[in-house]
Amino acid sequence: MQKQSTIYFYGGAGSVTGSNFLLALSEVEGFDSEFKILIDCGLQQGEHTCQDSNWNPFLFEPKDIPFLIVTHAHIDHIGRIPLLVKRGFKGRIISTEATKAVSEPLLLDSMELLGREAERCGNDILYTEADIAAAMALWEDITYHQPVPLEGGVTLELLNSGHILGSAMAKFTRGGKSIVFTGDIGGGNSPLLKEAEPLRGVDYLVMESVYGNRIQPQKDHRREALEDVVEDTARRGGTLLIPAFSNERTQDLLFEVRTLMVEKRVPSMPVYVDSPLAEKITESFVKFPQYFADDIRKRVEGGERIFNFAELRYVSDVEASRKADQAPSPKIIIAGSGMSNGGRVREHEMHVLLDPKSTLLIVGYQAAGSLGRRLVEGLKTAYIGKEKVPVKCKVEAIYAYSAHMDGEQLVEFVNQAADSLKEVFVVMGEPAASSTLVQRIRDYLGVKALAPEAGEKQMIEF
């Protein structure tokens, strides 16, 4: 008789962030009820972190879960792990080596941000350094394609998802059937990473859909586009401010700007990286050359310091951050917090938005309603804290560094496994993006697909 399992869509369904799925398998030896595997335990991110559900109880009992598999080190996939441990999880946490290494500084940074939010909203502290340490003590690292037997004949394998360094799809196999949770999937746009692996022979897929309804410009001319923006800023004698995630996007940009400067394609000017977190993560990156694309791996292993150049200055504290603002232009500032939602980027924005000689460059996904998104959409007056700031600078966007597959790539990704797929669950997207992708998978590929809502469960034959 065919075994049945249930997927619970606790988070990351009907929204981009808060990834949290539970695979509950019946008829596993040694388990009276179900054998439960959690996939990701992320924070919900929005404009107001304290109003959302991050503080709510988990909808399952953490102590009953023997395994947590982590797809990648983005806070919307890992941000509630210390809370999970604080609330009783004692199982094994498994990810790639690069994901584990980068997760610790990310969680410490997020703890500080959440602490400030909690204070502002009168909430309890979500977790402490001790909770993070307890989580790290349960955390094991493996490499891509290293099969790990879990329980009851279930095997885990991590596959490269090409999204950020060490990012993985989690593939579970039992009795000849398989299910893959994609986490986030890259579209081959990072200058540093290998492309996502194609899937074949998979029965079920739980997949992301951030750009499910969009076609992104391809990577062909993106370095030239960046070159143009840097040159234009130099010509106008302004500041080029690039808000960027500390993990992957900052390193992609550092690599690109370094290339432009080393090849003398743009004038030499100081490049400030205002994110102590990004500095730590950049140090981690070079310890894992095996996760880079082959040409980059060879350069790193050959001793080339691919993120270092004479113009680069890491900004360590708030005082140095202010000095970077006051330093003569032209200059480039890459600042933490990719969605312009907080962090030090706010202070820089105050200066840059008011300055007609300067440019704000958006390079990544911007959540609906975020300041970054509204600026790209032509916002004329921004509110930074309580302050009203007229937007006088240039606002540019280069999307060809996107860390996600676009709508066409996602359909093609499913197409490669279409022969074997029984059903696709489309998650981690805004509702319009997810429903568009569902429709395309049904119409173009004839594969059963649906976009579950948060809290929903689905039965599968697994």
Q: Which chain residues interact with Zn ion by CB under 5 A?
A: 74, 184
User: What is the nearest approach in angstroms of Zn ion to the Cβ of residue 373?
Assistant: 17
User: What is the nearest approach in angstroms of Zn ion to the Cβ of residue 184?
Assistant: 4
Is the CB of 162 or the CB of 238 nearer to Zn ion? 162
User: What is the nearest approach in angstroms of Zn ion to the Cβ of residue 196?
Assistant: 13
User: What is the nearest approach in angstroms of Zn ion to the Cβ of residue 404?
Assistant: 8
Is the CB of 74 or the CB of 222 nearer to Zn ion? 74
Q: Which of 149, 147, 154 is nearest to 26 (CA)?
A: 154
Asked if 139 and 93 touch (Cβ cutoff 8 Å), the reply is yes
Is the CB of 247 or the CB of 359 nearer to Zn ion? 247
User: What is the nearest approach in angstroms of Zn ion to the Cβ of residue 298?
Assistant: 26
Per DSSP, the three-state class of 262 is helix
Is the CB of 184 or the CB of 430 nearer to Zn ion? 184
Amino acid at 366: Q
Burial of residue 148 (number of CB atoms within 10 Å: 0-12, 13-18, 19+)? middle
Cα within 13 Å of Cα(420), Cβ side: 14
Tell me how far apart the alpha carbons of residues 342 and 347 are, in angstroms, rounded to a whole number: 9
Residue 226 sits at φ, ψ, to 5 deg, of: -65, -40
Is the CB of 185 or the CB of 205 nearer to Zn ion? 185
User: What is the nearest approach in angstroms of Zn ion to the Cβ of residue 45?
Assistant: 11
User: What is the nearest approach in angstroms of Zn ion to the Cβ of residue 314?
Assistant: 24
Residue-wise DSSP of 398-455: --TT-SS-BHHHHHHHHHTTTTT-SEEEE-SS-HHHHHHHHHHHHHHH---EE-PPTT
Is the CB of 117 or the CB of 184 nearer to Zn ion? 184
Is the CB of 207 or the CB of 266 nearer to Zn ion? 207
Tell me how far apart the alpha carbons of residues 228 and 251 are, in angstroms, rounded to a whole number: 20
Is the CB of 74 or the CB of 236 nearer to Zn ion? 74
Asked if 211 and 433 touch (Cβ cutoff 8 Å), the reply is yes
User: What is the nearest approach in angstroms of Zn ion to the Cβ of residue 190?
Assistant: 12
How far is residue 459 from each of residues 265, 285, 330, 422, 425, measured CA to CA in Å?
56, 39, 58, 12, 11
User: Which two structure tokens, joined as six digits, stand for 115?
Assistant: 């602490």
Is the CB of 16 or the CB of 382 nearer to Zn ion? 16
User: What is the nearest approach in angstroms of Zn ion to the Cβ of residue 299?
Assistant: 25
Residue 65: alpha-carbon gap to chain centroid = 24
Tell me how far apart the alpha carbons of residues 220 and 89 are, in angstroms, rounded to a whole number: 46
- Residues sharing a CB contact under 8 Å with residue 21, sequence separation 6 or more, in sequence order: 7, 8, 9, 10, 11, 12, 38, 39, 40, 181, 206, 427
